[in-house]
Amino acid sequence: MRNVTTIQLDRYQSPGVTTVYQTRSSTTEVGWKLSPDFSMGGRALLNRINSDDPSVIQQVGEARDEYQVSMHNRRAIMRGFTTQLDAFVGVLDLHNTEQTKRGLSADANGRLRHVTGRWFTHEVSGHLSTDFTRLVILSTGLHNNPPDVIGDMNGNLTLFNQSRIGLRTAYNLQTSNVGQPGTGDTTISRLKSSRTGVDATLRTKIGGDGYVNVTESLSNAHQVTTINGPSSRRTAGLLADGQANWYGLGFEGRFQSALARGEVSTGSVNGSYAETNNTRSLEGAVNRRLLARLTTRLSARIGLTSYRYSAIGNFRLASHLTRCRLAVVPDRREPSAHRCCEYRTLWKLAETSLSTSRAPALRPITRTARIAPNGAGPTDSWQGSRRPSATRCRPTTPRTTS
């Protein structure tokens, strides 16, 4: 039998108000070892979140309970090759102020390790979590049944670790597809994300304690949110660092270069924009030990970062401005004149790369002015493909009555 309980209390103080945020979790598992490599049992996962934030109308709280059957298998298939598998299957009950989830849940963890001699080591670990539940939004009663899936895999490959020249590679994969209530609790949206990355490092030893490392990294990430829609980011980087000693002097150097490109959607069909980020840096240091307790060190660093933006499709920005004036006549309780002017401007970003040293070149393509006297509806509006002339709100002289 094994139990792990965690209690965390966070207290936030502001003038006249104290907010307490509580997080409690408990994991209890009981099992029986049926063979040297296999065991079976059950576990219970209980999680609670509570807060008395006065700025929120509804009380912040969540209760999540899971009761599962557990299975563990550890086996050495051959010399230098071991596997481990942990699986959990059960029921899920989640309830908070926005939604409820009830149904089946499953969770699996795996690990594989392969070692050959002193030159080859490969280790892979992965996790997969899914549930087949019924999601219900409390405010509207809307429900949905598609399963939620969250998974990741990580691996490390090492070649010639104890030799003068060696290679180390790390890779990872992540994906998720989760349903959550949308804006206004009128829809159930699917939040999807995925990420892949790989890092490869070539290591070389120099002398007794010197080394040179060269690392190449690549990554690619995609995400879909309810507000902005899909977005993606690709990154490629190069890192080189080293250290060496020569005639009592210690030399250290580091060079880094990274190029990233991200595409962000605006949540509409008008298009999106792209951002390209280029970062370069170089640093070095020289140190020398003068006395037993005195060491001098000289270091320098230089870096350069640049950003460039470009439009994708028919990318536009919209602005909205409303201005109202009230004229009040003495000896009267209500205003005798009420005039509002509403301006709407639509800007379009040129489909060319722009530098950060210059402001984006935006040009207006539509402008509309509306005047509503005495709180009535719009009396003057413009629509069409031609650009109208500027319209100003003229002050109105109120009429006085005896």
> Could you report the per-residue pLDDT of 91-103, keeping only the tens digit for each?
999 998 888 999 9
Neighbour tally for 272: CB within 10 Å? 19
- List the structure tokens of 349: 């970003």
- How many whole angstroms separate alpha carbon 186 and alpha carbon 141? 9
Could you tell me if 158 and 91 lie in one domain? yes
Q: Domain check: are 98 and 35 in the same one?
A: yes
Q: Give the pLDDT score at 51.
A: 84
Is 55 domain-assigned? Answer: yes
Same structural domain, 278 and 328: no
For residue 357, the model assigns a pLDDT of 35
Angle at alpha carbon of residue 314, lines to 310 and 319, rounded to 5°: 90
Examine the fold and report which residue of 314, 346, 370 is the final residue of a domain before the chain moves on.
Answer: 314
* DSSP codes joined into one string, 117-146: TTTEEEEEEEEEEEEEEEEEETTT--EE-P
Q: Does residue 14 register a pLDDT over 80?
A: no
Position 139 confidence tier, pLDDT thresholds 50, 70, 90: confident
At 18, which amino acid appears?
A: T
Residues 16 and 126 in one domain: yes
Residue 291 and residue 240 share a domain: yes
Check whether 217 has a pLDDT greater than 60: yes
Do 221 and 100 lie in one domain? The reply is no
- Domain stop point among 134, 161, 179: 179
The pLDDT of residue 52: 79
Number of domains present in the structure of the chain? 3
* 8 A C-beta contact, residue 74 and residue 83: yes
* pLDDT level of residue 151 (50, 70, 90 thresholds): very high
pLDDT of residue 371: 38
* Two structure tokens written together for 158: 């090492």
Cα(157)–Cα(113) distance, integer angstroms? 10
Q: Burial-class residue 217 by CB neighbours within 10 Å (0-12, 13-18, 19+).
A: middle
* Residue at 188 is within a domain: no
C-alpha R_g of the chain: 32
Task: For tokens 């170089």, name the residue.
Answer: 282
| DSSP assignment string, 161-200 | TTSSEEEEEEEEEEEEEEEEE-GGGS-EEEEEEEEEEEEE
- Answer whether 274's CB lies under 8 Å from 309's CB: yes
What percentage of residues in the chain have a pLDDT greater than 70? 73
Q: How many CB atoms lie within 10 A of CB 73?
A: 15
Residue 19 neighbours by CB under 8 Å, 6+ apart? 11, 12, 13, 51, 52, 53, 54
Q: 81 with 100: CB under 8 angstroms?
A: no
173 within 8 A of 153, measured Cβ to Cβ: yes
Does residue 263 sit within a domain?
yes
Q: pLDDT-derived band of residue 399, with 50, 70 and 90 as boundaries?
A: very low
Does residue 199 lie in a domain region? no
The helix, strand and coil proportions of the chain, stated in percent and rounded to the nearest 5, come to 0, 75, 25
Higher-confidence residue of 272 and 32: namely: 32
User: Taking the mean position of all CA atoms in its chain, how far away is CA 262?
Assistant: 13
In the numeric block, which tokens belong to residue 49? 């979140």
> With 60 as the cut, is the pLDDT of residue 38 above it?
yes
Question: What are the φ and ψ backbone dihedral angles of 54, each rounded to 5 degrees?
Answer: -75, -15
Whether residues 35 and 91 share a domain: the answer is yes
Q: Is the pLDDT assigned to residue 124 strictly greater than 50?
A: yes
Are 213 and 243 members of one domain? Answer: yes
**Mean pLDDT lowest for which of 52-56, 59-63, 109-113, 205-209?**
52-56
Torsion of CA 359, 362, 363, 365, to 10 degrees: -160
Q: What is the pLDDT of residue 322?
A: 57
- Minimum mean pLDDT among 121-130, 156-165, 271-280: which range? 271-280
- Among 52-66, 158-172, 351-365, the range of highest mean pLDDT: 158-172
Q: What is the mean pLDDT of residues 6-24?
A: 85
Q: Identify whether 189 is part of a domain.
A: no
Both 278 and 388 in a single domain? Answer: no
**Is residue 387 a contact partner of residue 368, using CB atoms and an 8 Å limit?**
no
Q: Dump pLDDT digits (tens) for 244-290.
A: 988 889 999 999 999 999 988 765 556 678 899 999 999 999 999 88
Higher pLDDT, 290 or 125: 125
Average pLDDT of the chain to the nearest whole number = 79
Confidence category of residue 367, pLDDT binned at 50, 70, 90: very low
Average pLDDT over residues 318-325: 54
Q: What is the CATH number of the domain that holds 131?
A: 2.40.128
Is the pLDDT confidence value at 106 over 50?
Answer: yes
Domain limits for position 75: 1-179
Statement to judge: residues 381 and 250 lie in one domain? no
Better-predicted residue by pLDDT, 56 or 69:
69
Higher pLDDT, 77 or 56: 77
Q: Pick from 292, 293, 285: which is nearest to 244 by CA?
A: 285
Domain membership of residue 190 (yes or no) is no
14 and 132 belong to one structural domain: yes
The pTM of the whole model exceeds 0.85: no
Same domain, 301 and 378: no
233 has pLDDT over 70: yes
What is the pLDDT confidence band of residue 41, given thresholds at 50, 70 and 90?
A: very high
Give the mean model confidence (pLDDT) for residues 323-340.
51
On whether residue 10 sits in a domain, the answer given is yes
> Does an H or E element contain 319, and which?
strand 316-327
Instruction: Please indicate, yes or no, if residue 384 is contained in any of the structural domains.
Output: yes
